[in-house]
Structure 1
């Protein structure tokens, strides 16, 4: 079948593209690098010609709720409208476990994205997954005070991006199911421990400290709102396995 991957050059998108091609699907990458601007819709109409399913793994680098909502509003509306006109039969979206329970910052946009997909004309599937192993790498060094590296107090259930991609491709190749079973990682970790482990791997000896974030989002990070509930599926790749497989940028 022909699968379009929105955000196919990103961290998860690259895995989705690889898995889909390994399984014999024809893949169309929807990204600026391939001439498609999802925020404006430029190039999208022609790119979706003959596409059977769209997998949306787009993301944006912001913790501002308004900016996140605006990004996902534009991208999702363009994808759904163009998909309907092109006759796309299945729209698959990657969501975040607990985004509605800890709504704030980036998660505001993800909740809005789900609402748009659920009310759209294209039949849909939404897979919610927990944070990826790579989240520790992304947080490392984002916020510093002098020699200190600061990370939020957070309980996480890290999952391998590759395993999420495998599930997304499986779902895309099947019939729309609405809300798919949530996918989490094999165990629950403290984010500060994960970032410290990544820092050691990167050769960074700066102290890593955890600070509680204020508001609903911070409470959700601390109290487990972003963890899976009973009935979820779980990946098998551990954080240590992922960590041993990467070559981090020294000195970051």
Structure 2
């Protein structure tokens, strides 16, 4: 609660008052002044919002420098798309309620960006999975790379193909669990190229394993790409999200 002028904040605690016979004989009301904590949290929220704003501005500046410095070709287009993906994520982080972001929001954000969420050929589904800021950037980049590849070469380019993106949380002993993400393309008329080792493939096969201790399997089937990812999640007793 706060004072009428809303300048002072209190935490109210109620406890039973027990007499000498250990019987309840009233209520003890304690008021703890938490004004400093409330103001500190407000300042922190302002600083976080300012940081997110400056990060998005910095990404815009980098994009502008790249456009004025580098030759207009496919490489520049790819670079700009990756910066745009990071910018969208920063916007999502800035709007987050607390320090967690739902994986479903990250998936939806990426598919909205390419304008294909309304297709009946695309199935997206999974439970609410709150992720900490430490995980979301790498996962968002991986989803961006898979989506971009599907738009250029795979299921999001071929009108006869299908794409299924599923995720779930599986227990892996004690109070620990893993986030499991499956990306499955099918019905692609042209077999995917498996010999190239670009940024997206390195991100999945190396960076994810190194940064998030993930287990990954990227496969190039005759009718599309499939990707299986398992990422250990913090235990229920851990504060590291």
- The TM-score, its normalising length taken from structure 1, stands at 0.24
Between structures 1 and 2, the one with greater strand share: 2
Which structure exhibits the higher relative contact order, with contacts defined as CA atoms closer than 8 Å and separated by 6 or more residues?
A: 1
Indicate the structure (1 or 2) with the bigger Cα radius of gyration. Answer: 2
